[in-house]
Amino acid sequence: MNLELFEPDAIGPTRVELGPAATLLRGWALPRVDALLPALDAVLAAAPFRHMETPGGFRMSAALTNCGMLGWTSDRHGYRYTRLDPQTGQPWPAMPAPFLRLAQDAAEAAGFAGFRPDACLVNRYAPGARMSLHQDKNERDFSAPIVSVSLGIAAVFLFGGSRRGDSARRVPLQHGDVVVWGGPDRLRYHGVLPLKDATHPRLGAARVNLTFRQAG
């Protein structure tokens, strides 16, 4: 018998419970990357990445775009979901079928059957970009989970508690990893540490994160 087959690799197990209702599914999206990347390119052709401004007047270091009925936007007036891309005046591009299937299947695999996302926020991090600790609370209904898909170069995700000052767990996220957050974990503080310099064979010097939400 080849004992190496049973040796955990440097990364660790496939399924990790990060909280009572937060599950990391390592590599879960890998078999679907070939379908996701052309769909992503089609979204970007209609709604290119752009850097938004925070209500405090800072430029976000991650660039973003959206697909689906609703898109998350930020400007000097605040954060909100809109039906139209403020840059083009057009509706956000429709959610591609492979995006929707991935989000629904991953939610179900983590115990959230019936997830119907109407918004997909696409974040792009170049080396050095980060996202400071925050809560996601612009959605109408916190009972639906959030599904996050990491593509490209690795990042360290910060998973905090229900208060900003609570200590945060550091979770390395790699190409193909999927995380599903719901229930009591839905409003936990979270962020992304500044990305290290790296290059990914498929995405170059970038991390792209798809975040699916039921926003409306």
Nearest to 51 by CA among 69, 64, 34: 64
Interface positions, 134-193, toward ligand MD3 (CB under 6 A): 136, 146, 148, 179, 181, 185-186, 188, 190, 192
- Number of residues written out for the chain: 216
**Chain-centroid distance, C-alpha 118:** 14
Tell me: does residue 112 bind ligand MD3 (CB under 6 A).
no
Facing residues of 19 across strands? Answer: 22
4-43 positions binding ligand MD3, by CB under 6 A: none
CB of 174 to ligand MD3, least distance (A): 12
Cβ-based burial of 92 (10 A; exposed 0-12, middle 13-18, buried ≥19): buried
Residue 102: CB minimum distance to ligand MD3, A: 14
In the numeric block, the tokens 């769909």 are attached to 39
| 206 counts as binding ligand MD3 under rule CB under 6 A | no
Whole-angstrom distance, CA of residue 124 vs CA of residue 195: 11
Residue 136 as a binder of Fe ion (CB under 5 A): the answer is: yes
Q: Does 195 contact ligand MD3 by CB under 6 A?
A: no
| Residue found under tokens 């697909």 | 67
Is there binding between residue 139 and Fe ion (CB under 5 A)?
Answer: no
Q: Which is nearer to ligand MD3, 131 or 215 (CB)?
A: 131
Bind-site residues for Fe cation: 134, 136, 190
Name the residues that contact Fe ion, by CB under 5 A: 136
